[in-house]
Amino acid sequence: MLREFKAFVMRGNVVDLAVGIMIGAAFGKIVTSLVNDLLMPPIGLLLGRVDFSNLFLNLSRQPYATLAEAKAAGAPTLNYGVFLNTVIDFVIVALAIFVVVRAINRLHQAPTPTTKPCPYCVSVIPLNARRCPQCTSDLQTA
C-alpha cells in the first residue's frame, strides 16, 4: 500500500497540482496585498476618505467607532467593507487566471495544416494541389 501511495504521489499530475496550489496561494497573498494596500486606499480617498476595511453595520445597540472595537467587544456586525475588498480581490485573481489560461490556450493552438492526403493514393500533398504528384489523379473532381 505504501508503494502504491508513493507511486500516486510522485505521478506528474499530482506534483504539478501541488506546485500549482502553492504558487496560487502565494499569488493570492500578493493580490490581497495589492487590493488592500495599493488599490483600496486611493479609491477610498477619491470617495471621501473612506476606509473600506472599516465599513461595517453594527447590529448591537451600543455604538462602536471602529470595526476593531466592535470585534473586541464581541458585538455582531455585518462587515460589508471587508466583503467589498474580498470581491475586488476575487475579481483581480479571476482576471489574472483568465489572462494566463488564454495565453496558454493560444500557445497550444494547432497550426493550420499545409498538406492533406490524396483521396486516391493517400500520399501527402500540398493543401491546394490540383493534381496528385504521386498518382497524377485529378483532385478537382474528387
Domain boundaries, the chain: 2-109, 113-142
**CB 11 within 8 Å of CB 17:** no
140 is written with which cell numbers? 478537382
The pTM (predicted TM-score) of the whole model is 0.57
- Residue 93 has what pLDDT? 82
- Residue 12 has what pLDDT? 67
Q: Which residues of the chain have pLDDT under 50?
A: none
In 10-127 the beta strands, taken as DSSP E runs, fall at 57-58, 77-78, 115-117, 124-126
Short-list 118, 112, 116, CA closest to 127:
116
- Residue 97 has what pLDDT? 83
- Residue 34 has what pLDDT? 86
- Residue 118 has what pLDDT? 94
- Residue 95 has what pLDDT? 87
- Residue 90 has what pLDDT? 87
Measured in whole angstroms, the distance separating CA 110 from the mean position of its chain's CA atoms is 23
Specify the CATH number of the domain 2-109.
1.10.1200.120
- Residue 119 has what pLDDT? 92
